[in-house]
Structure 1
Amino acid sequence: MELYQMTEQFNELFDRFDEIDNYIPDTDEFGRYIDGNGEIIEDLEAFREKLRSAWFDTLVGLEAEFNDKAENIAVYLKSLYIEAAAMHDEEKTLKARRMVIEQRADRLKKHLIKSMNAIGVKKIDMPRARLTIRKNPESVIVDDELGFIRWAQENANMLLKVKLPDIKKAETKRLIQAGESLPYVHLDRTESLIIK
């Protein structure tokens, strides 16, 4: 049974609790209370107590089944988090190794370009590799970033990309908690699941 089905069963079960307290059984032709099988109910309150007891037994059984299901999901969640953490660690290791290899390749490539330029060779065509030195498109090299930004703000603002300022959420939270009324923001409390 799925968790959502169990949740529905819990809701139905709790709805039935009030029905048990207010339960009035059918009567036979003599006005005596009878149960669903047509058996005479001698003591209505004892019968209701029996129904309550069955209700509690059902609740305990459903709760145990729900707890087992929740535990299985929690164990699976823990294994997923462990697997994700291992992948994250492996990603960091692979990224570091990739960067070392890329840096080695870049240094070797620059050395090869320098050596080919030194002897005046722009193209080499061999069976396993073809090498060609070509001119790349021009790119902007910024010699003084702060100096250029100041100049552009005064003379050519369209050369700058402007970002929205970041909201200091911790400071904003502190002010709201202190009783400040701030527009366009509010505090919200979410829930999290702790699995140990």
Structure 2
Amino acid sequence: MTALYEMTAELVELNNLMDSFEDTDTGGDDGSMALAIRDTLEGMEMAFNDKAVAIVKFAQALEGDTTAIDAEIKRLQERKKRINNRREQLRDYLRHNMEAAGHKKIECPLFTITLAKGRDQVQIADEAALPDEYVRVKTEIKPDKVAIGKALKDGATVPGAELVTGPTSLRVK
């Protein structure tokens, strides 16, 4: 089966041949040659269209695959979260019971379980009461593309920005 890019090259070549044939001194009087080129072009256009339809169908099948993969990823992430929560619950359960029983260390052939002293942590009771020297300010500078685009479309000049046409897009309805 011929690849789409090969079909495109052949179509361009045939269109150029047709254009050059019609521009010759005969003015395109040779009807049989023009008819043959037109017939070939029509056949190739149909094959090209069939190939394009097949490509879109394949792309839609891939889209279905990605939807299924996204659902599976979500399911697995939820399962991972449940497993991690269960693991933390078990560790907290063991820690609580070791503390209550007064056990600081449990040894077995595979590993040792030890209750370690907790680390110092800062707990903020009221953020607004903190002095400025203990507060970080985060500033984000980012162009407002929507406002810039509106201004450019309205005819304004915005230094450092210009309105350009993006690449063509493919729409399948």
1:185 partner SS? coil
1:4 paired residue number: 5
1:91 pairs, out of 73, 80, 83, with 73
Quote the Cα distance in structure 1 between the aligned partners of 2:69 and 2:131.
41
Q: Which runs of 5+ in 1 are unaligned?
A: 25-43, 154-159
After TM superposition, the score normalised by the length of structure 2 is 0.79
After TM superposition, the score normalised by the length of structure 1 is 0.71
Percent of residue pairs identical: 28
Quote the Cα distance in structure 1 between the aligned partners of 2:172 and 2:110.
56
Bigger Rg over Cα: 1
Alignment root-mean-square deviation, CA: 2.9
Q: Which runs of 5+ in 2 are unaligned?
A: none
Please report how far the alpha carbon of residue 189 of structure 1 lies from its aligned counterpart in structure 2 after TM superposition.
2.8
Aligned pairs for 1:110-129 (under 5 A) are 110-126=92-108
2:30 partner SS? helix
Aligned pairs for 1:31-180 (under 5 A) are 48-126=30-108, 130-134=112-116, 150-152=132-134, 160=136, 162=138, 164-180=140-156
Quote the Cα distance in structure 2 between the aligned partners of 1:145 and 1:9.
71
Q: Is the 8 A contact 1:17 1:52 kept in 2?
A: yes
CA deviation profile, 1:118-148 (whole Å, cap 9, x unmatched): 3232332336764333457766655555665
1:88 partner SS? helix
Quote the Cα distance in structure 2 between the aligned partners of 1:181 and 1:76.
45
After the TM superposition, which of the residue ranges 129-138 and 61-70 deviates more from structure 2?
129-138
2:168 paired residue number: 191
Quote the Cα distance in structure 2 between the aligned partners of 1:149 and 1:7.
69
Q: Is the 8 A contact 2:106 2:113 kept in 1?
A: yes
